[in-house]
Amino acid sequence: MKMQTISTLRMSHKEWLKERKKSLGGSDMGAVLGLNKYRSPYTVWAEKTGRIGEEPENEAMRQGRDLEQYVASRFEEVSRMPVRRMNYLMRRNDCPHLHANIDRKVVGLNAGLECKTASALSLKRYEGGDFPESYYAQCVTYLAVTGWARWYLAVLVLGTGFYCYQITTTPTDDTPEWCESSVYVSPEEIEALKRCAADFWHDYVEADSPPPMDGMESTTETITSIYEGGGDEVELFGRESLIEQYQYLMSQKKIIEEDADTIKQQLMNDLGDNERGYCGRFTVDWKGQSRQTFDARAFAKDHPDMDLSSYYKTTNFRKFAVKEEKER
């Protein structure tokens, strides 16, 4: 198996992003397979074809990057296996549309380590041996690229706990006592992931043709980012039945929401002044809450001589609407 290794040690962040655009990485595959609720196949396609840039680093991403070494050290502590940093982006010659940007390699073993940091609010996703499917896809991608036998996933749930998992290509592997669970990945599953990556790259990225729409919020945000508006009018040939279907679904959505609100009103009336009610296996809460907001209008009234224009933020957006012309 011939491997292309590209050193990232002296790469700038811009150069690293440019190299990543040439193929699909582990986090990309979680989205391509529909396992990431925050990122859609359409968004991956838009990034790889240069229509949008990669998502800018937010606070959660910054904390994850800064805490990566701590997570690796905790893994070494619980597993008693040393790891070393991998400053390479790896591609197999027989699978050039996939790459692996590995956090750590386990010293002396054909095994890697993926380090993650998660919010305490997501604790339930890691209990009972479970972990997000997008992380699983990421580790399987790395197994596919490297051909190694095992991948370990170490997750720091901030202020709450530390969890380790094993993803292995060896069906007889036991679950280490320091792991929450061990998942076997068959050769057929790895080949299926590689075929999916190849199909996505050839059918959509190289063809410069978007994948099917999926209803995900990420897709809507990406389309809005690509097409800022300002154009004129266009004839939507052959879309009449699609528009009719949209109108029908929106009318059904309104009926469903009204029915749900009617039931909600009945239950609120049943609760009265009580904040909680029980019915069989269900618990119904209607609890009082409060929040403080800044009353800009009252502030302006009390301070008429103060210019507040620089404190107002203008948000530009495009409003989507469908209207049916009445027959004359």
Are residues 95 and 62 both part of a single domain? Answer: yes
Say if 318 falls within a structural domain: no
Tokens of 48: 């790889």
Residues 176 and 122 in one domain: yes
Per-residue pLDDT of the chain (328 residues; tens, 9 = 90+): 678 888 888 888 888 888 889 999 999 999 999 999 999 999 999 999 999 987 777 788 788 888 999 999 999 999 999 999 988 899 988 889 999 998 899 999 999 999 999 988 888 888 888 999 999 999 999 999 999 999 999 999 998 899 999 999 999 999 999 999 999 999 999 999 999 999 999 999 999 999 999 999 999 999 999 998 888 888 999 999 999 999 999 999 999 999 999 999 999 999 999 999 999 999 999 988 888 888 888 888 888 888 877 777 777 777 777 787 776 4
Number of domains into which the chain is organized: 2
Range of the domain at 30: 3-225
For residues 25 and 82, membership in a common domain is answered with yes
Tell me, what amino acid is at 312? Y
The predicted pLDDT at position 328 comes to 43
My answer on whether 98 and 195 are in the same domain is yes
Statement to judge: residues 182 and 256 lie in one domain: no
- Pick from 215, 219, 217, 214: nearest CA to 46: 219
Has residue 187 been placed in a domain? yes
Does 235 fall in a domain? no
Q: What is the pTM of this model?
A: 0.84
Specify whether the CB–CB gap between 153 and 192 falls below 8 A: no
Per-residue pLDDT, 95 = 87
Do 255 and 191 belong to one domain?
no
Q: Is residue 321 part of a domain?
A: no
Domain check: are 136 and 264 in the same one?
A: no
Residue 262 lies in a domain: yes
pLDDT at 200: 97
Q: Are strands 161-168 and 181-184 parallel, antiparallel or unpaired?
A: parallel
Q: Which residue is listed with tokens 């009617």?
A: 262
Residues 149 and 122 in one domain: yes
300 falls within a domain? no
Is there a contact between 16 and 99 (Cβ–Cβ < 8 Å)? no
Q: Tell me whether residue 219 is in a domain.
A: yes
181 and 260 share a domain? no
190 exposed, middle or buried (CB, 10 Å; 0-12, 13-18, 19+)? middle
User: What's the CATH number where 204 sits?
Assistant: 3.90.320.10
What's residue 62's pLDDT? 84
Both 41 and 174 in one domain: the answer is: yes
Report if residue 70 sits inside a domain: yes
Which one, of 81, 74, 97, lies nearest residue 4 by Cα?
A: 97
143 and 265 co-located in one domain: no
